Amino acid sequence: MKRTRSPSRSSTGHAIGIDLGTSNSVVAIIDPDGAPRILTTAEGSTLLPSLVWFGPGKPVVGEAAREGLDDSPDVTIFGAKRLLGRRFDHPEIRRLAKILPYQLIEAPNGDTWISLSAGRSVSPEEVCALVLRELRLMAETHLGEPVTRAVITIPAWYDAAQRQATKDAAQIAGLTVLRLLSEPTAAAFGHGAHRGTDRKYLVCDLGGGTFDVAVVDLEGGVFEVLATTGDPFLGGDDVDRAVVEHLLRDVRQVKGLDISTDPIAIERLRLASQRAKHELSSAAATRLHVAELVQLPSGKGAEYGRPIRRDELELWSAPLIRRLEAPIRGALERSGRKPQDVQDVLLVGGMTRMPAVRREVTRITGREPSVIANPEEVVAVGAALEVARLEGVIEGVLLIDVAARGLSVSASGGDCELVIAQSAVVPTREHRVFATRHQDQPTIEFDVWEGESPDPAQNRHLGRYAAVDLPAAPAGDVLVLVEITLDTDGTVRLGASELVSGDRLQLEQLYHAGLARAEVTRLARQHAEAS
Amino acid sequence: MGTGRTLHVRCATWEQVDVFHTRKLRRGKLLSMKVPFQTEIGAEVTLGLELPNQVVVAIEGVVQNASPIDGDTKTWIEVELTGFTEDVLARIRVMAATAAMAAVPATRKPAPAAAQRRATTAHQEEELPADERQLFQQLTAELRRMRGLAVHDVLGVGRAADADEVRRGWMELVRQHHPDLVARHRAPAITHLAEELTILCNRAYDRLRAAMVAEGRATVVGSVLRSPPGWLVGFEDIASVDAAAVRAALVEPASVSGRHRADTPPPPTAHGGDAFELRARAMLGDGDSNNAQEVLAAALCVYPRSRALRSLYYVASAIGALEKGEVMLATSQLETALAHNEQCSDAVVLLEHIRKHGDSNPDQVRSLFR
């Protein structure tokens, strides 16, 4: 591993590394001397809250949008990353729809969107795009030059639709994605790139919304992900909610108030518990305080405060902490490792500052986790190093990834047929041949699914496509070769050609998950004009 | 008259176009070819020259020479392409150049970028367009070569290569061709070629991995290929001839002399585990299934690929289970034995025995081996 050149200052603009988080996002760049640097917000924090307040004026992003949480939680969107590229009928989205203070609706193609007010809705891609744009502006302010490209980190378990949605969000924000990098790989890269020794990592990433585990090997400059597992709905937000539930009971007992149906009061309580949770990472006890929880009928505000101890917090969050064990054991089992084979346990994500989390991971792995000074930022550092790697500043390092899920295709409503198996090394390409069934058939339709089951209902529908303008010929004489490419980002590309002549065929998208290409372009232009 | 006859010449690549007008045409205008119809000197023909960009250029010509071949069904003709003027040639050249630009934008474009780079650092000279063009040609040749190879040859390993060799071969190629490593050659055409090469290597690796896993010669963890952790995963040998020997051993009580009598030559592919097997059989005959299992486990450390030993191990384990009265477990162990070696007659006999008698009497089982 050696650094050979200073980052290229090409006219195409700078590239940045972005950790797009559920609750906080981080942006990092590579300094001219080759060292990664975390950029700070106008408030001086390295973390930009992934919050967008669709207030009366322009959407407000970041720390300033916290005001919106207090003021109008129904139009202040947090955790949009959890909704990105998800179908509305997903059970977890159903669950989230019940507990989130803002309203989720179903888009015409079955995706999850957010309803802001009657007749006004916004896609999670746009919300994430606003956060990404804010990060881009932070970098532009620091560099004084335009930023056009980015490496963005994503959870390892993201499916193709979620990956595409992330890319779309970036495009709307005016960023070309150099690479989608899985978060655990980024963490291992950010932590281990400069250490240069072969190591076997177990990365546990517990952030605001998701828990990811990965077994990552670094051998001879090659980072390989052996296995990933995770719990996409376990994170700091869930701990906050568990605390709020206990506090609601406490408020009822102490104050005689039932605020469980008051979204504003709940949001204020959530913010106060979040603060208390952060303080309890270092202190054994603190005081939780909400200046004005609700307005009493008399017009006076009701204050609420209580001391809170670390053991209380740990007791309340114990059911959540217990959920750490299964993914960790699963990842070790799938990689064929025993806990003692792991050489380095990395704890990443803000939630790993909680002593109970460290204790639990130590108990499961039988090994004291490595101390990372900046668990929230190491992923962004990895992303920035990836930028340097792709630009050729860091040489001799290779990141190898595999398909997170299999890809299948089906024609005319038949069974799905596996085309690319899970754990195939990306980039890869496979093909299937479809034949016409009628004389002069003008089009051939087929579906692409993510998943390995022959039953379409078990798989995620990525899209329905049609090869059009087929030459006129008797039934079965026209053979269409469909090539499915899974690229290094884990996103899917399709191509079709006529098998005999080799002519390219036009592919039409009849249905697809996520935003339409034209829609992404339109939004990108709109956002570019707005800024 | 042959007026209106159209000859179609299809060029799939621009190189073919080049070859067509530089070498195929004599004196710039004369084309010789075989046509599936009869014609005569002086007939007018039109040549439809289809270019790779699907444009068909119509070129007028007059037959200068015609001689029938193949019994009057075909004619060898020489056509003077009167319509192939400098003008037409120029048009074709323009189209070829445009296509080349589209396919390889970098080889022509980066003059200003290169100047800029040269201005910044001296040691970036390797990125000069001439070099990029050379790399491009090199990668194209490599891709063409690898496309025609079998998966083993793509990875540069032998057919009997083990997991480590396959992985090493693949890793070496990926280190050489991965688009990330050639990304500093910003030319999209080069990145694209590198990606195609990597796709080819990855596919070869995946195919080979799948085959090796199916054969039980390796396990796959993420992108990693590992040798099997133990002997239980191996299936690749076929102990077909052994089956006869095993049957013989069953029919004739297990003793060394009974197995290899002078009048029956030893089975040609008898594996080296014979001694272990005989000892184990003797122990099973004595009802000592525990020790038999131990012996077989030891044997499998030495001969991990022997199906006969592997199935016998499971038979021994089944007998142990039967002695404890666990018929279900015994059945599943016997089925496992058959899965490892479907010709394992011990397992067949025992399964039949269990099916007939339901429960089993250890003495009867022992008698099978005596």
Higher pLDDT, B55 or A358: A358
Query: Could you tell me if residue A392 is inside a domain?
Result: yes
* CA–CA dist B366, B370 (Å, integer): 7
CA distance A392 to chain B (A): 5
For chain B, give the secondary structure using H, E and C: CCCCEEEEEECCCHHHHHHHHHHHCECCCEEEEEECCCCCCCCEEEEEEECCCCCEEEEEEEEEEEEEECCCCEEEEEEECCCCCHHHHHHHHHHHHHHHHHHCHHHHCCHHHHHHHHHHCHHHHHHCHHHHHHHHHHHHHHHHHHHCCCHHHHHCCCCCCCHHHHHHHHHHHHHHHCCCCCCCCCCHHHHHHHHHHHHHHHHHHHHHHHHHHHCCCCEEECCEEECCCCHHHCCCCCCHHHHHHHHHHHHCCCCHHHHCCCCCCCCCCCCCCHHHHHHHHHHHHCCCHHHHHHHHHHHHHHCCCCHHHHHHHHHHHHHHHHHCCCHHHHHHHHHHHHHHCCCCHHHHHHHHHHHHHCCCCHHHHHHHHC
Sign of the four-CA dihedral A238, A80, A375, A403:
positive
* CA–CA dist B97, A517 (Å, integer): 31
* CA–CA dist B200, B118 (Å, integer): 34
* pLDDT score recorded for residue A9: 41
Query: In this predicted model, what pLDDT tens digit does every residue of A153-177 receive, in sequence order?
Result: 998 888 888 999 999 999 999 999 9
**Which pair of structure tokens corresponds to residue A59?**
């959407």
Query: In this predicted model, what pLDDT tens digit does every residue of A336-350 receive, in sequence order?
Result: 888 888 999 999 988
From B180, which residue of chain A is nearest by alpha-carbon distance?
A390
CATH number of domain containing A146: 3.30.420.40
The candidate with the shortest Cα–Cα distance to B306, out of B240, B215, B211, is B240
The candidate with the shortest Cα–Cα distance to A342, out of A364, A321, A358, is A364
**Which pair of structure tokens corresponds to residue A22?**
């559920």
The β-bridge partners of A479 are A435
Q: CB-based contacts of B95: which residues, under 8 Å, 6+ apart?
A: B51, B53, B55
> What does residue B253 show for φ and ψ, rounded to 5 degrees?
-45, 145
pLDDT at B186 over 50: yes
User: Using a CB-CB distance cutoff of 8 angstroms, which residues of chain B are in contact with residue A336?
Assistant: 219, 221, 226, 229
Which of A62-76, A93-107, B242-256 comes out lowest in average pLDDT? B242-256
- A428 and B202 within 8 Å at the Cβ level: the answer is yes
For A413-481, give the secondary structure using H, E and C: CCCCEEEECCCCECCEEEEEEEECCCCCCCCEEEEEEECCCCCHHHCEEEEEEEEECCCCCCCCCCEEE
**Is the same domain home to A261 and A242?**
yes
* pLDDT score recorded for residue B2: 38
* CA–CA dist B76, A489 (Å, integer): 56
User: Over pLDDT 90: what percentage of chain B?
Assistant: 3
- B206 and A428 within 8 Å at the Cβ level: the answer is yes
Query: In this predicted model, what pLDDT tens digit does every residue of B145-181 receive, in sequence order?
Result: 888 888 888 888 888 888 888 999 999 999 888 888 8
CA distance B217 to chain A (A): 16
Amino acid at A217: D
Peptide bond preceding A427: is omega within 30 degrees of 0, i.e. cis?
Answer: yes
**Is the same domain home to A6 and A145?**
yes
**Which pair of structure tokens corresponds to residue A204?**
């546990």
* pLDDT score recorded for residue B100: 63
The candidate with the shortest Cα–Cα distance to A160, out of A527, A512, A526, is A512
Query: Could you tell me if residue A148 is inside a domain?
Result: yes
Which of A104-113, A378-387, A462-471, B338-347 comes out lowest in average pLDDT? B338-347
A439-461: average pLDDT = 89
**Is the same domain home to A150 and A265?**
no
* CA–CA dist B29, A101 (Å, integer): 80
Q: CB-based contacts of A62: which residues, under 8 Å, 6+ apart?
A: A41, A48, A49, A51, A131, A134
The terminus-to-terminus CA distance of chain B in angstroms comes to 96
Q: How far is CA B18 from CA B6, B23, B25, in A?
A: 21, 8, 11
Contact A192, A397 (CB under 8 A): no
CB-based contact, B179 to chain A, within 8 Å:
yes
Domain that holds residue A477: 407-519
* pLDDT score recorded for residue B322: 81
**Is the same domain home to A255 and A164?**
no
- 């949770």: which residue's tokens? A277
A 17-76 → B contacts, CB under 8 A: none
CATH number of domain containing A435: 2.60.34.10
* CA–CA dist A225, A217 (Å, integer): 6
Contact B35, B75 (CB under 8 A): yes
Please give the ipTM for the structure prediction. 0.82
Q: How far is CA B113 from CA A244, A450, B119, in A?
A: 58, 42, 10
Query: Could you tell me if residue A6 is inside a domain?
Result: yes
Contact A261, A219 (CB under 8 A): no
**Is the same domain home to A14 and A44?**
yes
* pLDDT score recorded for residue A132: 96
pLDDT at A182 over 80: yes
The β-bridge partners of A202 are A215, A345
**Is the same domain home to A50 and A125?**
yes
CB-based contact, A425 to chain B, within 8 Å:
yes
Domain's final residue, options A303, A320, A337: A320
User: Using a CB-CB distance cutoff of 8 angstroms, which residues of chain A are in contact with residue B212?
Assistant: none
* CA–CA dist A195, A187 (Å, integer): 13
A468-477: average pLDDT = 86
Find the CB nearest A428 among B175, B199, B222: B199
Quick one: which H or E segment has residue A124? helix A124-143
Query: In this predicted model, what pLDDT tens digit does every residue of B231-240 receive, in sequence order?
Result: 433 333 333 4
Query: Could you tell me if residue A339 is inside a domain?
Result: no
From B227, which residue of chain A is nearest by alpha-carbon distance?
A336
The β-bridge partners of B80 are B30, B62
Alpha helices in A8-123 (DSSP H): 66-71, 91-99
User: Over pLDDT 90: what percentage of chain A?
Assistant: 38
Query: Could you tell me if residue A330 is inside a domain?
Result: no
* CA–CA dist B370, B361 (Å, integer): 15
**Is the same domain home to A45 and A71?**
yes
In our burial notation (b when 16+ CB lie closer than 10 A, e otherwise), range A148-184 reads bbbbbbbbbbbbbbbbbbbbbbbbbbbbebbbbbbbb
A 159-218 → B contacts, CB under 8 A: 215, 217
Which of A105-109, A292-296, A434-438, B26-30 comes out lowest in average pLDDT? B26-30
Query: Could you tell me if residue A222 is inside a domain?
Result: no
Contact B242, B249 (CB under 8 A): no
* Burial of B27 (C-beta count, 10 Å sphere; 0-12/13-18/19+): exposed
- A227 and B222 within 8 Å at the Cβ level: the answer is yes
Give residue A12's pLDDT band: very low, low, confident or very high (50, 70, 90). low
- 């007998």: which residue's tokens? B319
CA B147 to chain centre: 11
Q: How many residues does chain A have?
A: 531
**DSSP assignment string, A90-109:** -HHHHHHHHH-SSEEEE-TT
User: Using a CB-CB distance cutoff of 8 angstroms, which residues of chain B are in contact with residue A429?
Assistant: 199, 203
Higher pLDDT, B289 or A465: A465
**DSSP assignment string, A179-231:** EEEEHHHHHHHHHHTTT-S-EEEEEEEE-SS-EEEEEEEEETTEEEEEEEEEE
B76-92: average pLDDT = 77
pLDDT at A284 over 90: yes
Give the predicted TM-score (pTM) of the model: 0.67
From B10, which residue of chain A is nearest by alpha-carbon distance?
A501
Q: CB-based contacts of A306: which residues, under 8 Å, 6+ apart?
A: A247, A250, A254, A287, A288
Query: Could you tell me if residue A105 is inside a domain?
Result: yes
Split into its structural domains, chain A has a count of 3
Which of A231-245, A387-401, B179-193 comes out lowest in average pLDDT? B179-193
Give residue A527's pLDDT band: very low, low, confident or very high (50, 70, 90). confident
**Is the same domain home to A57 and A82?**
yes
**Which pair of structure tokens corresponds to residue A197?**
């020794």
* CA–CA dist A395, A388 (Å, integer): 9
From B124, which residue of chain A is nearest by alpha-carbon distance?
A5
Which of A23-37, A184-198, A280-294 comes out lowest in average pLDDT? A184-198
B243-264: average pLDDT = 42
From A227, which residue of chain B is nearest by alpha-carbon distance?
B222
From B174, which residue of chain A is nearest by alpha-carbon distance?
A398
User: Using a CB-CB distance cutoff of 8 angstroms, which residues of chain A are in contact with residue B180?
Assistant: 389-390, 398-399, 488
Question: Taking all residues of chain A, what is their mean pLDDT, rounded to a whole number?
Answer: 87
User: Using a CB-CB distance cutoff of 8 angstroms, which residues of chain A are in contact with residue B221?
Assistant: 226-227, 334-336
Find the CB nearest B224 among A224, A389, A399: A224
**Is the same domain home to A378 and A411?**
no
* CA–CA dist A106, A86 (Å, integer): 10
The candidate with the shortest Cα–Cα distance to B192, out of B205, B183, B201, B203, is B183
> A160 in helix, strand or coil?
helix
From B127, which residue of chain A is nearest by alpha-carbon distance?
A392
Q: CA torsion B202→B208→B209→B212, rounded to 10°? A: -170
> A73 in helix, strand or coil?
helix
User: Using a CB-CB distance cutoff of 8 angstroms, which residues of chain B are in contact with residue A402?
Assistant: 222-223
**Which pair of structure tokens corresponds to residue A456?**
């379409």
**Is the same domain home to A378 and A421?**
no
User: Using a CB-CB distance cutoff of 8 angstroms, which residues of chain B are in contact with residue A9?
Assistant: 120
**Is the same domain home to A44 and A177?**
yes
Query: Could you tell me if residue A158 is inside a domain?
Result: yes
Amino acid at B294: E
A 218-257 → B contacts, CB under 8 A: 222, 224-227
Greatest alpha-carbon pair distance for chain A in Å reads 83
- B222 and A488 within 8 Å at the Cβ level: the answer is no
In our burial notation (b when 16+ CB lie closer than 10 A, e otherwise), range A40-62 reads ebeeeebbbbbbbbbbeeebbbb
Amino acid at B150: A
**Is the same domain home to A42 and A167?**
yes
The candidate with the shortest Cα–Cα distance to A150, out of A49, A59, A6, A26, is A26
* pLDDT score recorded for residue A48: 93
CATH number of domain containing A256: 3.90.640.10
pLDDT at A50 over 70: yes
- 């690229």: which residue's tokens? A487
CB-based contact, A335 to chain B, within 8 Å:
yes
Amino acid at B231: W
